[in-house]
Amino acid sequence: MFFKNLAQEIKDVTIPLYKILIPFIFIVKFLEEIGAIELLSKFFEPLMKVIGLPAELGIILVTAIVVNIYAALILFINLVPSLDLTVAQITILTVAMLLSHNLPVESAISKSAGVSFWFATFYRIIGTFISCWILNVIYSHFNFLSETFVMTFTIDPPEPGLLIWLKDQFFNLIYVFVIIVVMVTFLEILKLIGVEKFLRRVLSPPLKFFGISDAAMNIIIVGITLGLQFGGGILIKEVNSGKIDKQSVFLSILMINLIHALFEDTLLMLLVGGHYSGVIFARIFFGLVISLLMLKCYQKYSKFFEKHIFDEKLRLLPEQKIN
């Protein structure tokens, strides 16, 4: 019975996620081929100056936003050595990449969970630039991390060719499936041995502080640790179950849009030169503060959000019970 339920859980998580990932793999590739990334980077150039970065770095951030962090790092290793940058500027860039990477796919996941694609997109972009502007002000005021950045790593660029690209995407999808199997199995074992109930009791107070019920615990844990892409299937499945209230779903989505993949992505940005003060502490702090502000906004303007930001699936979820 356990393995039958496990197989069904894996299926329920994987299929909705693949319905998003597979089309967007080709959409993003198409945008790359037609030069949309270069065009968009021109729009971002003045915004880069707002957060204390040279305009030339705009193409790196836009690539992280539209494609992913790994594609952006190929540009990073080619552009950064030619610029006179400080550790503070590299940290701000890496924080911006962490907050806004892989936006088309992850906004589509938010959309499948019931939140407007465009709201999720602009929420992260605005949150990114506000956070990085404040971080730049702090670093500049205290003259912190003002030493010159020296690159200490290299990354091999991907081999050219459509067939090689298709092969890479195929193996990426297999990797996603393996992660889902491990993740779902782990969560089911936690339920079986009673650890899930313990975690609910432990996490209930902090989640409640951010307006999120403990029913959304799996969304938060998976999203924050493994990322929105891997946790997307869990997120969509939990929403489709109808067992979580609309406020918790909405605020969970907003939180994990800013704070996710704390292990893999954070370690990667530390390795490429980002300082822990920004990559770890500032990112988490700003993400939590913005999440708290969104709770206050939702409590005051819930009707607006439900009418203009939620889709029908999210509107039909129950209201949060007040204890």
Range in 2-16, 248-262, 298-312 with the lowest mean pLDDT: 2-16
- pLDDT above 80: residue 138: yes
17-47 as b/e: b if 16+ CB within 10 A: beebbeebbeebeebbeeeebeebbeebbeb
pLDDT for position 268 = 92
- pLDDT above 80: residue 166: yes
Which has the higher per-residue pLDDT, 104 or 202? 104
Average pLDDT over residues 60-67: 96
pLDDT for position 113 = 92
53 in a structural domain: yes
Q: What is the DSSP string of 255-274?
A: HHHHS--TTHHHHHHHHTT-
- pLDDT above 80: residue 2: no
Q: Is the dihedral of CA 97, 101, 107, 109 positive or negative?
A: negative
275 in a structural domain: yes
Any idea what DSSP says for residue 113?
T
66 in a structural domain: yes
Chain centre distance of CA 305:
21
Percent of the chain with pLDDT over 70: 99
Q: Are 250 and 310 in contact (CB under 8 A)?
A: yes
- Burial level of 273, CB count in 10 A (0-12/13-18/19+)? buried
Domain span at residue 115 reads: 2-151+166-309
110 in a structural domain: yes
29 in a structural domain: yes
Residues 6+ apart with CB under 8 A from 248: 211, 212, 213, 215, 216, 320
Confidence of residue 190 (pLDDT cuts 50, 70, 90): confident
- 218-254 pLDDT tens trace: 889 888 988 888 778 888 988 888 889 999 999 999 9
323 in a structural domain: no
Average pLDDT, the chain: 92
- 15-56 pLDDT tens trace: 989 999 999 999 999 999 999 999 999 999 999 999 999 999
Which has the higher per-residue pLDDT, 148 or 190? 148
pLDDT for position 170 = 93
Largest Cα separation within the chain, whole Å, is 61
Confidence of residue 318 (pLDDT cuts 50, 70, 90): very high
Average pLDDT over residues 260-277: 93
Q: Are 54 and 112 in contact (CB under 8 A)?
A: no
φ, ψ of residue 163 in degrees (nearest 5)? -65, -40
pLDDT for position 183 = 86
- Which amino acid belongs to residue 252? S
Average pLDDT over residues 179-202: 85
315 in a structural domain: no
Confidence of residue 323 (pLDDT cuts 50, 70, 90): low
Query: What count of residues does the chain have?
Result: 323
Confidence of residue 322 (pLDDT cuts 50, 70, 90): low
User: Number of structural domains, the chain?
Assistant: 1
320 in a structural domain: no
Average pLDDT over residues 154-173: 85
Chain centre distance of CA 233:
14
φ, ψ of residue 148 in degrees (nearest 5)? -65, 135
